Structure 1
């Protein structure tokens, strides 16, 4: 595992919570890092499903019967999205091959209404995960997160929220495959 411990996280990496993290916001979470710079970091928890649908959050979009994930505990009055495939929305940021973050929401709605988008390739998030300057680095030093540059958009979109943490670790190979099988409570081992 030591070969990956000095990875400096960058946009498009995954932050995988260590197996015994007890912070309820991040237990067994996989965070897609969207920004990481000298001012701080911004990411979206990929595997924490909310009870909401997009239609519940936005007026005039009752046709959008898409699940909403909890992107994190910060500003849960904001809506974010990622998608996979080609760069279909102006203003999107490419995070990894075949994986994009955000873009012009009005363009998204227009293209959806015209039948130009496959909603199976979109995921919406309420709130986000944020770190102040130096905070993420401190958490990495405390071994709170495992950084992975093994981003697989197919796995992100096709794995169930309950399975994504294990899938992400297994894709890293080596010792991480064993970590994927750790119980949540080590006393149960």
Structure 2
């Protein structure tokens, strides 16, 4: 098996859960690291749909019937968004080529209402995944996560949530492609 080179976690990387991780919050999850520094790390689970819709959460978008993802178990009373393509919202942070996190939400709403936003390029999340100082590094040393540096922003938005974990591993190539085919329960193999 190829070793996943030890790379310090940094924003713009994907964390892909190892095949047999049993934590219900992170089974077969793909997390986009939005921030990582000496104080800790912050990311969004990209492939866990919630039962909520944007119209259920925000009065100003009560006409928008769009799915919302669970970004993680922390502060599920917060809303976050990412998008791909060109930067369209002031204050967005570029995490990878053509992949942006956050920005001015009021500007997003105004641009959407004016027809200048393509929702196919946006994902919304309630909550986030967070690690205190050193916690993520510890989990990486325990091989809980596989780090992916080469993000294919388009596949994040075009892959179904059920397929994204496998797609991310396959995109890494080599022995990671083998991991993509591991069953959730090896006794069923």
TM-score range, shorter chain: over 0.9
Cα shift at 1:3: 4.3
Contact 1:5 1:146 survives alignment (8 Å): no
Root-mean-square deviation (CA), in Å? 0.9
Q: Distance in 1 between matches of 2:171 and 2:153?
A: 12
**Residue equivalent to 1:126:** 126
**Residue equivalent to 1:52:** 52
**Residue equivalent to 2:15:** 15
Q: Structure 1: any 5+ residue segments left out of the alignment?
A: none
Single out whichever of 40-49 and 8-17 deviates more from structure 2: 8-17
| Mapping for residues 155-174 of structure 1, pairs under 5 Å | 155-174=155-174
Q: Distance in 1 between matches of 2:103 and 2:154?
A: 20
Cα shift at 1:59: 1.5
Q: Distance in 2 between matches of 1:3 and 1:28?
A: 19
Contact 2:2 2:175 survives alignment (8 Å): no
Contact 1:42 1:128 survives alignment (8 Å): yes
Q: Deviations over 1:94-120 (max 9, x none)?
A: 000000000000000000011001000
1:113 aligns with 2:113: yes
Cα shift at 1:141: 0.6
Aligned residue pairs total 189
| Mapping for residues 33-182 of structure 1, pairs under 5 Å | 33-182=33-182
Q: Deviations over 1:136-184 (max 9, x none)?
A: 0000011000000121111000000000000000000000000000000
Q: Distance in 1 between matches of 2:2 and 2:136?
A: 19
Cα shift at 1:60: 2.7
For 1:87, what is the secondary structure of its paired residue? coil
